[in-house]
Structures are given as C-alpha cells and as structure tokens.
Chains A and B, each alone.
Chain A
C-alpha cells in the first residue's frame, strides 16, 4: 500500500470543520440534510463574529438536539412555539442574533400560529425552516408539506387530498406579511447549492441584525430514512418531486 505524505498548511487547506461545530457525535441519519445545514449555521455565525451574541431556539423534532452541536447559547422550545420564544428573547435582548431552527411539523403544523404572528409582528429574528416533507423523529408520518401521493406511515397509500388535505407552501404565504423582509428557499444537495445557501443564510442573519424585520430561510431537504431511499436516491427524488412543488430561489427581499 502506497504511503502518502500530506503536507498540512494554510495554503493548501481547502476545508475545515467550523470552530463552532462541537465534537458531539451527531444523531442524524447518514444522508440527512441537517448536518450540512448545522455546518452552515456554525460557519456563518463564526464568520459574522456573533458567537458571543447568538441565541438559537431548537424545536421538537429531529433537530431538537441542535443545541448539542453548535457552540452558542440555546433554548429548546415546546413543539411549534419556537417563534414565540425567539420573539421574546429578541425583544428583551435586541443586540443579539436570535434565530429558530425548525422542521416542517414544528413550524408549519403545530406551530403555524406562532410562526405567522412572529412574521406579522416583524420580530427581528431569523427562522430556519427545514422542509423534508415528513416527520422524521417519530418515524415517518405525514407532514403538512408532504406531497400528494407521497407514502408515509400515516398515509400508507399515499397522501390523498380528500383525506389529508394538500401540501402547502408556508414560505409563499408569509411573503404577504408586511413584517417579513426576506424569504428564500434553498437546498444543500450539491456543493453549488451549499455555497448559495450559505450566502442566503448570511443575508437572512444580516437582515434580522439590521432590524429589517423577520427573515425566513427554507431548506428543501431530504429525509432518506423516512423516505426509505438511499442518500443518493433521496437527492434525486428531491430534485424530481420536491423542487417542482417547492422551487428554489428568493421569494421576497426588501
């Protein structure tokens, strides 16, 4: 077996783990989008120099333990209530970066009320919304964003509109609200998408820090375990089925 001499220096460094990502072993499934999105959050906070001024709110769902992985102050909120928790923290601590990190069930089902009203009040927070169209933590049930025809453990024959209603685009809905300054939909399935998403995340954080109102970044994401696909197949399925319904790009930027 050939031996390689690897020369480690700053000039040839192309990648490093963000300093704010802790060494805790992540509980996320291999292939899950959360790991990459966490990395972006850690990187952007670090690059903005806000690690001593950041407070994150984690949801109930797969990312409930986000607080173990990013080295900033965190509160864990009751299911769906993250936006209300964040709104109060920001109003009482206006110099802080306050953001929520929520899944589709947390944000768009049980937490719809808190989400819409934080948006409408224009609270200067950032909402990070990870939409993988399924409830991962409880084992793959229907989410409000589950596509029609999609099989989950509570839609075993596929989501049927007459039984289960329709998937909805909460990001599009909140663009109508005056208090919202920035809405974008991103993904992290390719290196190019990751780079683009990182820029969008930084823009979202800057908006809330500048007091421009609420900024909202949706990540269309995979849940290969819940979708019962390999990580690669999940990415393909997302491109073929999720992106047509949840198209990527900025929806509002004022």
Chain B
C-alpha cells in the first residue's frame, strides 16, 4: 500500500535519507534547513538502519566528514543553507577532485553575507559554475515540490555513484519550509560492506583485503598527469550533459513566449501562464530540473517558434545567463525576479512578462 503523508520539505529530506539507504549524515544547524538534522536526530536511524548522524562543529567539518565517508564507499550526505554552503566550497572541490560520490542539499536563503533567512535562488552561479576552486562541476538537481525533495535524494545518490561526483540538491527556504502531500514510495536498504568491497573496491577505502592499496586524493604534482585528470573530469561532465539533462515543459508547443523558471519560481509561474492564457497570450514554461547539466538543447529547439524568453528566478539574474547562452542573441531574453528574501507574486511576474516581453514584441 502506498504510504502518503503531509510533510515539510526539510523533514522529507531526512525521511528520504533514511529510506534511501544513506549510511551517514553530517551537518550543522542553519536556518532555514535545521529541521533536516532535527528530524534525523528524532528518528534515531542508528537504531534501525544503522545510519550514522553527526552534528559537526561547523559546515567545514561536515563536508570533510562527508569526504571521509564517501572515501570509504558509503552513501553519505550533508545539508546546509547558503552561508554554510560557502564554507563547504573547499570540501566540494576536494570531493570533485578525488571523484567521490555524495549528496549535498542547499536550502538556500538570500545573500550576500549573512543576508536573510528568507528563500532565495541566488546561489545558482555558485552551484552550477563555481562551487569551489578549480575546474569542476557538481550535478545540480532543483526540486519544486516536497515530493521531489524526497525523490531527488534517491536520484542524487544514484547519480553520485554512477559518475563518482558530488550532487547538489539546490532548493530554497520556500520548498524546505512548505508542507505538501508526499508519497513515500521508494525504499532501499543500506549497502553491505561486502557489496561496497565488490562494487567500489577499485577505489573505496575498505581496508586493502585481497587487493592493492587504494589512495583517495586530489593531489597530483606532475602537471601533465593533472592535465590528464582534468581531461577525465571533462569527459565525465560531457557524459553527464549527454545523458542526464532533465526538464519539464508546459504549453510550450504553440507558445509565442516562454517563461524559464526552476524550483519555487516554477510553482509561481505555473499560475502566471494560466493567467496569460486566459488573456489570450500564448505563454508556456520550461522548468529546468537539472541546473547542471542545463537543458540547453531543449531551449534552443524552442527558438523555432518562440519570440521571447523571460527567466524568472529569486535573484538579480543568474540562470538568465544560461538561457541567453542557450538561445543566442537573436531572440529576446529578459530577466525578472525579486530577491533578498522577497518572493514574487504571480501578478508581479505577469506584469513583468507583459512589460519586458509581450509589449516589446507586439
């Protein structure tokens, strides 16, 4: 029988962690995502699945605990919010450099600096382009519902192990704090030590029983070899781009105008396209589900009939740059968004759509 519950986005991440066979969660409290570690501590999964939960002394320690756990071949994760993710920049770079799998949840809030505790989507650049130093990418999933908060923990671990790469679930305070119906359908046990040794024994630190010793490192002193490593990483990202792009379209087939929005903004914009259609404007929406890899080809294909694109995000304009790169300069691309913790209403977005796109192209 299906298990259906009414749950908060953050609580669902904790539930999903335990049910997805996560071995360890390491985190530090920060608003608006603290319910994740609170829920885990209340669940006491160490008594059921054996999952380890540690409240670390900082986000720096959290991400390095994740590095250690991942190095031993375990399913491990952490979560934080924007300022805490900045502290994890070093660790994320090391994880990517050492090619380790993990899931990192960013329930983002407005910035810069300590900023605000209200929802924001202003960590897009950081998540998709520069999560830390060096040439690397995270795989970035952007849920827009409590259900996706659940499902993407599973998908995140699958992608992380498939590509041996850190995965970020980039969400925001709105989805994290929102309560919705969620179907807790998927469930799987933790991996056994024997399974890890058999499947990941070529890199994971399981004790060198019956094999040569493994070294997990991102250090390479020979620049020629480091360049080869970078080639290998780039080949991996090319495979991610070829195979893992996910997006959703609504009413795009006949659209003259398309809104591009992810996460909580896509929920608001679903209402906007309804309002516009009622007024006779053919407006559709493309929602990137993976922010890296970005649905570039899908957007490019829409150029055949779409006259203008409006990128709507809770930021001063970050994803809009990827929209422009996707569709080129010969079609109108504009940005709209509230920021600093303010959330746009459907009518604000609709007014912006008319002003910045529809009226300009009339």
Residues of A within 8 A of B (CB): 51-55, 57-58, 64-65, 67-68, 71-78, 81, 84-89, 91-93, 96, 113-114, 117
Residues of B within 8 A of A (CB): 23-24, 26, 52, 54, 56-58, 60-61, 64-69, 71-72, 74, 76, 90-91, 94, 98, 193, 205-210, 213-219
Residues of B within 8 A of A93 (CB): 72, 193, 206-207
Given known pairs A72-B213, A76-B218, A78-B94, the reply for A85 and B65 (CB within 8 Å) is yes
Residues of B within 8 A of A54 (CB): 207
A106 to chain B, nearest CB (A): 13
B317 to chain A, nearest CB (A): 33
A252 CA to B42 CA in the complex, in Å? 36
A114 CA to B56 CA in the complex, in Å? 9
A147 CA to B210 CA in the complex, in Å? 46
Q: Which residue of chain A has the shortest Cβ distance to B216 in the bound complex? A: A75
Contact A87 B65 (CB under 8 A): yes
Contact B60 A75 (CB under 8 A): no
Contact B208 A51 (CB under 8 A): yes
Contact A89 B69 (CB under 8 A): yes
Contact B71 A85 (CB under 8 A): yes
Contact A67 B68 (CB under 8 A): no
Q: Which residue of chain B has the shortest Cβ distance to A91 in the bound complex? A: B52
Contact B91 A75 (CB under 8 A): no
B29 to chain A, nearest CB (A): 15
Residues of A within 8 A of B52 (CB): 88, 91-92
Q: Which residue of chain A has the shortest Cβ distance to B55 in the bound complex? A: A121
Residues of B within 8 A of A85 (CB): 64-65, 67-68, 71
Q: Which residue of chain A has the shortest Cβ distance to B100 in the bound complex? A: A75
Give 29 A-B contacts (CB < 8 Å), ordered by A residue: A52-B207, A52-B208, A52-B209, A52-B210, A55-B72, A57-B68, A58-B217, A73-B207, A73-B214, A73-B215, A74-B205, A76-B98, A76-B217, A78-B64, A78-B90, A81-B64, A84-B60, A84-B61, A84-B64, A87-B54, A88-B52, A88-B65, A88-B66, A89-B68, A91-B54, A92-B23, A113-B58, A114-B60, A117-B57
Contact B64 A55 (CB under 8 A): no
Residues of A within 8 A of B217 (CB): 58, 67, 74-76
A58 CA to B58 CA in the complex, in Å? 21
Residues of A within 8 A of B66 (CB): 88
Extra contacts, 20 of them, besides A75-B215, A88-B54, A92-B24 (Cβ < 8 A), are A53-B207, A57-B68, A67-B215, A68-B215, A73-B205, A73-B213, A74-B217, A75-B67, A76-B218, A76-B219, A77-B68, A77-B94, A78-B91, A78-B94, A81-B60, A81-B64, A85-B68, A93-B72, A93-B193, A113-B60
Given known pairs A51-B208, A77-B67, the reply for A88 and B58 (CB within 8 Å) is no
A41 CA to B68 CA in the complex, in Å? 21
A214 to chain B, nearest CB (A): 14
**Could you tell me the dominant secondary structure of chain A's interface residues?**
helix
A99 to chain B, nearest CB (A): 12
Residues of B within 8 A of A64 (CB): 219
Residues of A within 8 A of B71 (CB): 75, 85, 89
Residues of B within 8 A of A84 (CB): 56, 60-61, 64-65, 68
Given known pairs A67-B215, A78-B94, A117-B57, the reply for A96 and B65 (CB within 8 Å) is no
B56 to chain A, nearest CB (A): 7
Contact B74 A92 (CB under 8 A): yes
Pick from B26, B90, B213: contact of A74, CB below 8 A.
B213
A84 CA to B241 CA in the complex, in Å? 33
A198 CA to B23 CA in the complex, in Å? 35
A51 CA to B26 CA in the complex, in Å? 28
Max chain B Cβ within 10 angstroms of own Cβ: one of A52, A75, A96: A75
Contact A74 B216 (CB under 8 A): yes
Contact B205 A75 (CB under 8 A): yes
Pick from B24, B90, B205: contact of A91, CB below 8 A.
B24
Residues of B within 8 A of A87 (CB): 54, 65, 68
Residues of B within 8 A of A77 (CB): 64, 67-68, 94
Max chain B Cβ within 10 angstroms of own Cβ: one of A57, A65, A91: A91
B49 to chain A, nearest CB (A): 13
Residues of A within 8 A of B98 (CB): 75-76
Contact A88 B57 (CB under 8 A): no
B134 to chain A, nearest CB (A): 12
A117 CA to B218 CA in the complex, in Å? 25
B165 to chain A, nearest CB (A): 17
Residues of B within 8 A of A55 (CB): 72, 205, 207
Residues of B within 8 A of A91 (CB): 24, 52, 54
B70 to chain A, nearest CB (A): 9
A112 CA to B61 CA in the complex, in Å? 11
Q: Which residue of chain B has the shortest Cβ distance to A94 in the bound complex? A: B52
Pick from A57, A71, A92, A114: contact of B69, CB below 8 A.
A92
Max chain B Cβ within 10 angstroms of own Cβ: one of A54, A55, A88, A89: A88
Q: Which residue of chain B has the shortest Cβ distance to A120 in the bound complex? A: B57
Contact A88 B205 (CB under 8 A): no
Residues of A within 8 A of B193 (CB): 93
A113 CA to B66 CA in the complex, in Å? 17
Q: Which residue of chain B has the shortest Cβ distance to A77 in the bound complex? A: B64
A201 to chain B, nearest CB (A): 19
Residues of A within 8 A of B90 (CB): 78
A88 CA to B57 CA in the complex, in Å? 13
B219 to chain A, nearest CB (A): 6
Residues of B within 8 A of A72 (CB): 207-208, 213
Q: Which residue of chain B has the shortest Cβ distance to A121 in the bound complex? A: B54
A114 CA to B91 CA in the complex, in Å? 13
